Chains A and B, each alone.
Chain A
Amino acid sequence: MTDVQRAGMSAGQSLAHSASTEWSNLVTTAVLGTDRKRLPIPPPGWESLRPVQDPAVELLDRAAAVATARRAGMQPLAAPLRIAPVPFDERPECSTAAANLLARMLGGLHDIALPEWFALSVIGGVRPPAYLVPALLLRGRRNPAFDLVARLAIGPRAAWLAEAMPELGVRVDPQSPPAGTDPFLPPRPHADSGAVVSVIVEMFLDRSASWAAVAQLRLAVAAMDPAWLPALSLELNRAPFHVATERTRVELIGLTQIRREMMVALAPTE
């Protein structure tokens, strides 16, 4: 370091020190009020640039100068200790399309298809995107069966994040589901998905596919052989409009669509 640099650094430190003193004086006076506390004389370099009679106005003038200097001269803080990096996971992240589908389902849209997403991701050898890991872990706090499956899909990043961020309130190790809890798996496929398509179409024709039946119909669509999804989609789009069934029809079209998109987005790549 040259003498000039050393002198410059010393002047800078001196100015920073006097700014700190001046700011402290101004804050103390401002808290008590200039009617009760006399405004201290400023350190050299921090005098008001214009003559002012009113001590309150002088305080504001001087505070504006110091506040600007403090803000404009803000320096980075010392870096704290960093956390250990996440253990290596050889599986790549899923595609953007698959990530978007997962995000939509975690947001509550057709989340009956969530178990299938996890099953397909395991088959495809991909993991969920890292930015969705907190949402998956938080959802798992109130659903141990989901937690087990989600952590399997996430991999080592789940335990790593739980340990790095205790404020999340997520356990480092997954909790065992209570006895008798259904595993978080896709529904068992129908023996004859073609027949299920026919039944669904009939229900729309005789207008019994009302919103009251939507839970059963969702389950039926979620358990359908993927090969029959294009046919179901076609039939639902051709189904006659009726005010009693329209909401159900839109719901099932959406579920069919998301399942078909998942098949493409999570298809294993060679």
Chain B
Amino acid sequence: MAVRPTHDQVLSLAPDPAAATAALPGSVPGVWSGAGCDDGAVWGQYIATSSEPYNVAVDLSDDVSGPAYRCNCPSRKIPCKHVLGLLLLLANGGVAPARRLPFAAEWLQRRVATVSASVDQPTIAEPVPTHDGGATTDAGSGALGGGARSPRDDLGVIDPARQKRQLERSERMRAGLQELDRWLADRIRVGLASAELSDPTTWERLAARLVDAQCGALANRVKRIATKVGQHARWHEDVLEEMALMHALAVGAQRTSGLPVDLADGVHVATGLTVAKDDVLASVPSTARWIVAGESRTREDKITVQRTWLASGPPQGPATWAMILAFGAFGNEVTTEHQVGRAFEADIHWYPGGINLRALVGRLHSEPGASASPPPVTTIAAAMQAAGWALAGEPWLERYPLCIVATPAPLGNGRWVLADDTGSVPIVSGFSRTAEIVAVSGGSPITLVGEWSAEGVLPLTLFAAGQAVPL
């Protein structure tokens, strides 16, 4: 080893006195697995408290800007108590020279590449600090490293500030996802029958931590799962299904480099990584005549989410669907930009993902006017098959649009289904406007646009007598 820091030097790195105090229990060999060091680095796996060890590594070779740290714990402190604990252990002579653990070797290798790149690239002011410097080169290739989006401006020059922000966010999200996955596994260990699952604060705390980790989309999903607890006799199945899909997302988000590019982008979007509108609008558009088929709104905390479904295609389907999302803050409602029942010719730009669904409207080629015909229709079986393919592309998809010609039929107990010759699909429970659908149908088939989900169809628009009736 070239340099071994002293006890005081390590403590001087602590971001605050509390972190220094918290680091002391981590400075004993018993809480570490695979701890080792060499001339330029020290590493180890912290195994004391969590179900999965934290991978900790410190690069001591940078004499100019000081050591760089890596730890996959959810703490926002830099360096965290685990890093300080490992350095204290090193200072106490408790770490023996060893071969680098794979995660440490990989990270340090990436750091070397980063430093080389920074020498070759004069526009980078300084190496990106610090908690996980290795994530610098993850951008565009690795786990939550910003997906396909690299922090470059239009001239292809790396913007260090943007890159730094992106990496910090990636790191927070990665930590949040790891914590989410640990939380899910812990719940499965103790069982879904555990009383704490029925306590809303259990879910709220997790959602809050995901918000902190900038995984807003997952936080909202957690809140929706919380509402399923105790909803009916077989709620455990619904909750397990949702937890399993969240687990798949959390695992996938940490391994996006091993996924197909489209799927990796889908994972990024589903976990909450935002895509700049300009980037979407720069993609190759799909130009067609689009009918505004339906609109749905959901309330998530203090945000109203509005989905506007556009459809194009031949009258007898299958339709190409595009979902335009809009958000409204509490007290500042979303405005309807595209009125249901109108049609226009336009460029649609797709967001990256496993399937083409979320989109932005680009250039309009014609003024919106009343549509003379409903969106392309399919049978119920074909619509469910289309939804199935979409789910195969993005298993965490919660809803998929359909346009069918079907007749409402009673199931009993106030529940209704929509039926055609290929079968039936239930109308979601709690839908309050079934009577309007039944009245318009008069026992005959009607054209209806809705959102399919695992619970059934949420009807959105009726097309009758050449008129679109939003529900």
Q: Is the CB of B245 within 8 A of A31?
A: no
Could you tell me the distance between the alpha carbons of A32 and B187 in the complex, rounded to whole angstroms?
A: 10
Q: Is the CB of A56 within 8 A of B188?
A: yes
Which of A61, A72, A82 interacts with B419 by CB under 8 Å? A82
Q: Which residues of B contact A157 (CB under 8 A)?
A: 439, 442
Could you tell me the distance between the alpha carbons of A63 and B469 in the complex, rounded to whole angstroms?
A: 40
Q: Is the CB of B438 within 8 A of A161?
A: yes
Total number of A-B contacts with CB less than 8 angstroms? 166
Minimum distance in angstroms from B267 CB to a CB of chain A: 13
Q: Is the CB of B236 within 8 A of A30?
A: yes
Within 8 A of A (CB), among B140-195: 181, 184-186, 188-194
A51 at the interface (CB under 8 A from B): no
A81 at the interface (CB under 8 A from B): yes
Within 8 A of A (CB), among B423-469: 423-426, 433-436, 438-440, 442-444, 454, 462, 464-465, 467, 469
Q: Which residues of A contact B423 (CB under 8 A)?
A: 75-79
Which of B51, B236, B439 interacts with A27 by CB under 8 Å? B236
The stretch that binds A, out of B35-43, B301-309, B408-416, is B408-416
What 1/0 flags go to A102-131 for Cβ under 8 Å of B? 000000000000000000000000000011
* Nearest chain A residue, comparing its CB with the CB of B433: A134
* Nearest chain B residue, comparing its CB with the CB of A67: B241
B391 at the interface (CB under 8 A from A): yes
Q: Which residues of A contact B420 (CB under 8 A)?
A: 79
The stretch that binds A, out of B67-75, B118-126, B380-388, is B380-388
Which of A74, A76, A80, A165 interacts with B438 by CB under 8 Å? A165
Q: Is the CB of B247 within 8 A of A64?
A: yes
Q: Is the CB of A76 within 8 A of B381?
A: yes
The stretch that binds B, out of A83-91, A214-222, A240-248, is A83-91
Interface size on A, residues (CB 8 A): 51
Minimum distance in angstroms from B397 CB to a CB of chain A: 9
Q: Which residues of A contact B387 (CB under 8 A)?
A: 72, 74
Which of A30, A63, A74, A130 interacts with B464 by CB under 8 Å? A130
Could you tell me the distance between the alpha carbons of A83 and B443 in the complex, rounded to whole angstroms?
A: 6
Could you tell me the distance between the alpha carbons of A84 and B391 in the complex, rounded to whole angstroms?
A: 36
Q: Which residues of A contact B49 (CB under 8 A)?
A: none
Q: Which residues of A contact B469 (CB under 8 A)?
A: 131
Q: Is the CB of A68 within 8 A of B391?
A: yes
Given A76-B381, A77-B426, A130-B440, does the pair A60, B419 have CB atoms closer than 8 Å?
no
What 1/0 flags go to A17-49 for Cβ under 8 Å of B? 000000100110011111110000000000000
A160 at the interface (CB under 8 A from B): yes
Could you tell me the distance between the alpha carbons of A70 and B331 in the complex, rounded to whole angstroms?
A: 39
Q: Which residues of B contact A36 (CB under 8 A)?
A: 191
Q: Which residues of B contact A133 (CB under 8 A)?
A: 435-436, 439
Q: Is the CB of A93 within 8 A of B465?
A: yes
Q: Which residues of A contact B251 (CB under 8 A)?
A: 61
* Nearest chain A residue, comparing its CB with the CB of B240: A30
Within 8 A of B (CB), among A212-261: none
Q: Is the CB of B443 within 8 A of A56?
A: no
Given A130-B439, A130-B440, does the pair A60, B184 have CB atoms closer than 8 Å?
yes
Q: Is the CB of A79 within 8 A of B391?
A: no
Given A68-B392, A131-B462, does the pair A63, B244 have CB atoms closer than 8 Å?
yes
B330 at the interface (CB under 8 A from A): no
Q: Is the CB of A82 within 8 A of B438?
A: no
Q: Is the CB of B424 within 8 A of A61?
A: no
Could you tell me the distance between the alpha carbons of A134 and B409 in the complex, rounded to whole angstroms?
A: 17
* Nearest chain A residue, comparing its CB with the CB of B241: A67
Q: Is the CB of B188 within 8 A of A33?
A: yes
Q: Is the CB of A80 within 8 A of B411?
A: yes
Minimum distance in angstroms from A19 CB to a CB of chain B: 13
Minimum distance in angstroms from A157 CB to a CB of chain B: 6
Q: Is the CB of B417 within 8 A of A79?
A: yes
Q: Is the CB of A33 within 8 A of B194?
A: yes
Q: Which residues of A contact B189 (CB under 8 A)?
A: 33-35, 56
Could you tell me the distance between the alpha carbons of A159 and B214 in the complex, rounded to whole angstroms?
A: 55
* Nearest chain B residue, comparing its CB with the CB of A134: B435
Given A31-B192, A72-B388, A130-B464, does the pair A60, B425 have CB atoms closer than 8 Å?
no
A residues touching B (Cβ–Cβ < 8 Å)?
Answer: 23, 26-27, 30-36, 54, 56-57, 59-61, 63-64, 66-68, 70-86, 93, 96, 130-131, 133-134, 157, 160-161, 164-165, 167-168
25 contacts between A and B (CB under 8 A): A23-B237, A27-B237, A30-B192, A30-B240, A33-B188, A33-B192, A33-B194, A35-B190, A54-B51, A56-B186, A56-B188, A61-B248, A67-B240, A72-B391, A74-B384, A74-B454, A76-B380, A77-B425, A80-B424, A85-B444, A130-B436, A130-B442, A131-B440, A161-B439, A167-B414
A60-B185, A71-B454, A76-B381 known, 4 other contacts, Cβ within 8 Å: A27-B237, A56-B188, A74-B387, A164-B410
Nearest 10 A/B pairs, CB to CB: A76-B423, A33-B191, A85-B443, A63-B244, A134-B435, A86-B442, A79-B419, A68-B395, A64-B248, A60-B247
